[in-house]
Structure 1
Amino acid sequence: MVGSATPGVPPVVTPVTPTTPGSSTNVEAGDPVSAEVDKHLKHFQSLKPPLFKGGVDARSAEDWIIRIEKVLNGMRCPENRRVSLAIFMLEGEAERWWRGQQLEKFRGKSEEQIMWEEFEQVFRDWYVPPSARQAMLESFVNLKQGAKTVIQYEAEFTALSRYAPQLISTSEEKCYRFLKGLRDSLRQPLIPLRIKDFAELVESARLLENDIEVMKQKWETKDRKRQFDHRVGSSKKQKFNQNQPQQSMRLPILPVCTTCGKSHPGRCLMNSGKCYLCGEPSHIKRNCPRNGQRVTEIRSNQRTDQYRVARPQMHQPVLKIKGETSSEAVKSAPTR
């Protein structure tokens, strides 16, 4: 900029700092690197990376380092900013651990001078030690689906497979391991298909699981309907039985005779030479003349009982013969 011209005085020129689009120079702060740093930090925070406070199991620590690396790759972070952004998400015990590692392992070097591979190696050696990796390897070998869905089983299978890369070096071996841990109802139909693509195998298992679940719901619906119909039928039958007249016929309980060992009314006629039916001597029960009359009376009484059950009993006067009592008239009355 050229100042105002004064006679006899040379013009004063004010220097101007050149600016170009995308320049990293921060004029207000006076720091040529702060604008670039803030840009990466804002982008990193916008992707919502997880915090790490330490004191967790090996799988949680492994998940954290994988998530952070995924965020850094997604934002195309430069190499000299990766470690500083990852350390920004350490808190508490994990932050104190890093300060000690920076002094001991890296001799006080700054984060910009430490490579990402070096930081990742130190982090895994501390939070995911070899003993934990061996335990994860054994968990992967013995992994079974159990009560988990196919999606849940696949997620755990993929998480543990990081510790056993030598066991799933090919797609065929990976499918074999995944198929081995499936439930019998899913594994047996899939074995003859010989699927060698892992994504195709997972999708086939998921579709088969959905079909089995639909059929299971249909059978449960039919079973509930059958149980409901059975309960309704039993209730109707019970109500019908309650409405029917119940006739309970109880026979008198007779004591056991000490002479013949049988139950009978009256005096025992055993060894008396008398008929068991009429009580007269000179004949036995089989030859008693009252046998025919007794059979006729029994049959008549049976027909009379059936008639009384079929229709109400009608009381009719009994004709008495002169000189007979009422009980004798009833006994001598002819059977209808």
Structure 2
Amino acid sequence: MGKAFTLDVVSEEKKVDYVSYFLKDEANYWCESARALEGEEVITWGRFKKIFLDKYFPRYMQTQMELKFFELKQEGMTVGEYEKKFTELDRFVGDYVDTDEKRAKRFQQGLKPWLRSRVAAFVMTTYAEVVQKAMVIEG
């Protein structure tokens, strides 16, 4: 829904209404009870995201995804497969890869040793450069 909000100008007050309209079954029942528990207070978008994530993506799951990211190595994958997995997991570690340079460095660290040493020979600071060079060298 966050992506949809960037396409259409939706006021902060209406975001929770928009999201709750699309929830179904158990998620809809949860939303109704969450709103009732908040009482007369309007649930802000920030508050809604927090209680929604606490319910459907609890801290222990977030921690598991962070660990998967930190343990991620290319090993038996191609650079393309590794890059796809890296991109799936990097959203769970926020600050750790919050700049393009940090992201590039972490990606490079997970490459197979023989590939990492060849990529390291080049001065590259962007994620796209590192991925592209690794793919060229691998190929």
Q: Distance in 2 between matches of 1:167 and 1:133?
A: 14
Q: Does 1:205 align with 2:138?
A: no
Q: Distance in 2 between matches of 1:185 and 1:157?
A: 19
Counterpart in the other structure of 2:74: 145
**Cα deviations by residue, 1:207-245 (Å, 9 ceiling, x for unpaired):** 333xx2xxxxxxxxxxxxxxxxxxxxxxxxxxxxxxxxx
Question: Conserved in 1, the CA contact under 8 Å of 2:74 and 2:110?
Answer: yes
Counterpart in the other structure of 2:117: 188
- Following TM superposition, where does structure 1 have runs of at least 4 consecutive aligned residues deviating by more than 4 angstroms? none
Q: Distance in 1 between matches of 2:39 and 2:77?
A: 48
- The one-letter amino acid paired with 1:91 is K
- How far did residue 108 of structure 1 move? 5.0
Percent same amino acid at aligned positions? 29
3-state DSSP of counterpart to 2:62:
helix
Q: Does 1:84 align with 2:13?
A: no
Q: How many residues align?
A: 139
Q: Which has the higher contact order (CA 8 A, sep 6+)?
A: 2
Question: Conserved in 1, the CA contact under 8 Å of 2:35 and 2:43?
Answer: no
TM-score under structure 2 normalisation? 0.84
Counterpart in the other structure of 2:29: 96
**Cα deviations by residue, 1:309-330 (Å, 9 ceiling, x for unpaired):** xxxxxxxxxxxxxxxxxxxxxx
Which structure has greater helix proportion? 2
User: Using a 3 Å threshold, how does the CA distance of structure 1 residues 127 and 201 change in structure 2: closer, same or farther?
Assistant: same
- The structure whose Rg is larger is 1
Of 41, 47, 60, which residue of structure 2 is paired with 1:131?
60
Counterpart in the other structure of 1:107: 39
Question: Conserved in 1, the CA contact under 8 Å of 2:73 and 2:111?
Answer: yes
TM-score under structure 1 normalisation? 0.38
- The RMSD of aligned alpha carbons is 2.1
Unpaired segments of 5 or more residues in structure 2?
A: none
Counterpart in the other structure of 1:315: none
Mapping 1:1-336, distance limit 5 Å: 68-104=1-37, 106-109=38-41, 113-209=42-138, 212=139
Q: Distance in 2 between matches of 1:168 and 1:122?
A: 25
Question: Conserved in 1, the CA contact under 8 Å of 2:69 and 2:86?
Answer: yes
- The one-letter amino acid paired with 1:84 is D
